[in-house]
Structure formats: C-alpha cells, structure tokens
Amino acid sequence: MKMMKALKYEKAGRANATIGMVPYPECGDNDVVIKVMAASICKWAEWNHDHGDGGTLAKYPVTTGHEFAGYVAEVGKNVTEFKVGDRVTADNAIPCGHCWYCKNNRPLMCENFGSIGHNINGGFAQYLVVTQDNVVKFPDGFPFDEACITEPVACAMEAFDRADVKPGDRVIVSGMGPHGLILAQMMAHSNAGKAVAVGLRQDRLDWLEEDGAETLLVDRNDQEANLVKLQETFPDGVDCIIDTSGAWPLCATMFKILKKGGRFIQYGSFHRPIDLENVTQFLNDLHFKNQSYIGVSCQVKNFPRSVEYMVTGKVKVDKIITHTFDLDDYFEALDTNMTDRNALKVVIHPNGDPEAPQEEF
Ligand SMILES: [Zn+2]
Ligand SMILES: [Zn+2]
C-alpha cells in the first residue's frame, strides 16, 4: 500500500496526535489529489484541536489543516479542468446541499458542513484528496507559501462583502493580526472614500503604509486618547467598522464615532468577558441610531475571488508569513505561533522546500 506522512489526531489533544505514516488517499472519479507544498496554521482552530475539544466541526480521527496549497498529483477520470503539476489550493468548506440553509441558497449557514481539516482529512500531510468542485488554480510560479493563505483571505472577503462598502464610505479596519492586515488591504483597494487601518503596532501599520494605506496607531490602555485620535481622523464619524481585534475596550471607543445608520462588523471573537455597563443603553443606541451589528466568522465559495485579489497584488500576504517549519516540527510550529508575539502566519512544508523542482508528483 502506498503510504505518506501526516499529522493525525485520534481525538482532540496533543497526547492523541502523531506525525507518522498513513495510507495515501484514494482519488475518486471527480477528485483531485493535491501534493501539499505549504499549509498554514490557523492559530485558534489548530490550538483548539491541540488543547481544546476541536470545536463544533471536529470529527476524529482526522488530519488537520484547512489552509493549504500544492501541486495536482492525480486527477479522477471525470476531471478535465486540472492536470498533474498545476498549482492549486482548495476551498475547505463543503456545504451539504440538502439542509434548510443549503436549499435556501445560504450555504454559509449549512447545518452539516463538511470541513477539510476538521472532519475531512486536511493539509498537514504530504497529500490530500478533494472534490474537483473545490479546487482553484494559481498561475505557475505563484509561491505556495502565499497560495496557502487563500482561506484567511476568503474569510476576510466575507467580512468585506458583508460590510457592503459604498462609494465614498468612511471605514475602519481594526486589529492588525493576519486577518486585519488582509482586510486593511482590501479596504485600501475598495471604493471607500477613506479607509483607515487601526492597530497597536507601528511595524505592522508601517507595512500597510508602504502600500499606500492610511493608518492610525492606538494605545491598548488609553481609550480617552484613542477617542481623540479617532475623532480627529474622522471628524464626521465613520460609516463602517470592521473589528478583527476582539478587543472590546477599543470597539466601545470606536462605537462612539459610528454614524447613524452605520455598520459594525464583528469579525474577531471576544476572548475576554465584555465590560459593558449599560447593555440596555447600548442596544437602544443601535436601535435609535438605526445601526447594524453584523457577525461574520467564516466563508464558503470565496476562493476564486480571493485568488484573483492575491494574484493581482491587491492583497499581499508575503509579509504575513513570519515562520516556516517542516511537518516533523509541527508542534514546535504551533507553539511558536501561540507564544511568539511577532508570529503572524506560520507555514508548514510537508514535502520539503516548496519551490524546489519536482521530479515527480
Ligand atoms: Zn483558517
Ligand atoms: Zn447544508
């Protein structure tokens, strides 16, 4: 039997995980087998497999990793769009097609999500198999390390879509982790009248400014000073705030400059209890000011447009990739992602140097 190396969790928790040999995946008639050249760590999702319960989508045993890119290694007999050697990534989300939401054209809310890396074997392996419907091509030469970041770009695009930015809108993207950095670039290339990236770290804001984005440095502990800066930057208020920081004190400050009819998109999870003195007042403010509070957490079917944004350079992810590791060092990679405050995206190479010429796939 043909074997390959993979990270495999028998159930949630590192004690139940091994990096070892497993059977090479079988390629069905409508499938594509991908030789994974790069797979990035989704910090909280992978931490949850490693330290938590894996989350609602998890089904074990499973090979994790939902952000990946590689070469087409094999195609099923019905596959005509892809050939061996193509550079590809694949949408990790596989809505069931038959639940109420799927039947009502809202696959994002599917009740029975198939999810590569959570309940279908994923990218922390030398190979994975995926239905051709989910595969998306990159042009030859586009680096695998960047291509594997398509999933975060696709999720950010969901927030971008839901923000529904109109020509001339004034917009804030707050929080400068990978998703904030991606969204700030999308906004800089949108039809917003003014789009400002708000963050705590000058080095990350500098990087956005080099690409022409407008930025504002804020202070984690001084919301009064932050409010003054925000009011100076937006004397007439903002139409839309997309928060990726999950920092409620900053969100509460930004709400003070959200215009009537404005939209607040919660794209980051709040990891600490929210200190909101007067919930009634807060909700009534939303009501009387006709504001919208919108939750966004994931995506489906945004991959082709995301690839387009990356290939055309509207969203650049090269600087977001801060570390690379071999598959054998996966746990060190995950720990680095959690503990190194300079880590943004940590990328795993299951087949050695991703850009080395391949003798075979
Ligand atoms: Zn992810
Ligand atoms: Zn469904």
> Over 90: is that where the pLDDT of 66 sits?
yes
Same domain, yes or no: 238 and 343 = no
Helices within the chain (DSSP H only): 43-51, 100-103, 144-147, 150-163, 178-188, 202-210, 223-233, 248-255, 279-288, 303-311, 330-339
Same domain, yes or no: 281 and 191 = yes
Same domain, yes or no: 268 and 132 = no
Give 115 Cα–ligand 1 centroid separation in angstroms: 11
pLDDT above 70 covers a percentage of the chain that reads: 100
Residue 98's domain is classified under what CATH number? 3.90.180.10
Q: Rounded mean pLDDT of the chain?
A: 97
Q: Of the candidates 191, 235, 232, 186, which has an alpha carbon nearest to the alpha carbon of residue 211?
A: 186
* Segment 92-127, tens digit of pLDDT: 999 999 999 999 999 999 999 999 999 999 999 999
Same domain, yes or no: 282 and 331 = no
Give 150 Cα–ligand 1 centroid separation in angstroms: 9
Same domain, yes or no: 211 and 277 = yes
Query: Model's pTM, two decimal places?
Result: 0.96
Average the pLDDT over 59-75 and give the result.
98
Same domain, yes or no: 211 and 168 = yes
Residue 287's domain is classified under what CATH number? 3.40.50.720
Residue 95 lies in a domain: yes
Give 220 Cα–ligand 1 centroid separation in angstroms: 26
Give 115 Cα–ligand 2 centroid separation in angstroms: 12
Give 67 Cα–ligand 1 centroid separation in angstroms: 6
Give 94 Cα–ligand 1 centroid separation in angstroms: 14
What residues does 32 pair with on adjacent strands?
A: 75, 130
Give 151 Cα–ligand 1 centroid separation in angstroms: 6
Give 1 Cα–ligand 1 centroid separation in angstroms: 32
Give 155 Cα–ligand 1 centroid separation in angstroms: 8
> Over 90: is that where the pLDDT of 282 sits?
yes
Residue 301 lies in a domain: no
Rounded to the nearest 5 degrees, what angle is found at the Cα of 59, between the Cα atoms of 54 and 60? 90
Q: What is the pLDDT of residue 301?
A: 94
Q: What is the pLDDT of residue 271?
A: 84
Same domain, yes or no: 166 and 267 = yes
Same domain, yes or no: 108 and 218 = no
Tokens of 53: 């319960």
Q: What is the pLDDT of residue 193?
A: 97
Q: What is the pLDDT of residue 277?
A: 83
Same domain, yes or no: 141 and 36 = yes
Give 114 Cα–ligand 2 centroid separation in angstroms: 9
- Ion ligand 2: residues, CB within 5 A, are 95-96, 99, 102, 110
Cα dihedral 143, 5, 90, 152 sign? negative
Same domain, yes or no: 140 and 173 = no
* Segment 236-256, tens digit of pLDDT: 999 999 999 999 999 999 999
Residue range of the domain that includes 255: 154-295
If one counts the domains in the chain, the total is 2
Give 78 Cα–ligand 1 centroid separation in angstroms: 29
Same domain, yes or no: 249 and 343 = no
Same domain, yes or no: 66 and 180 = no
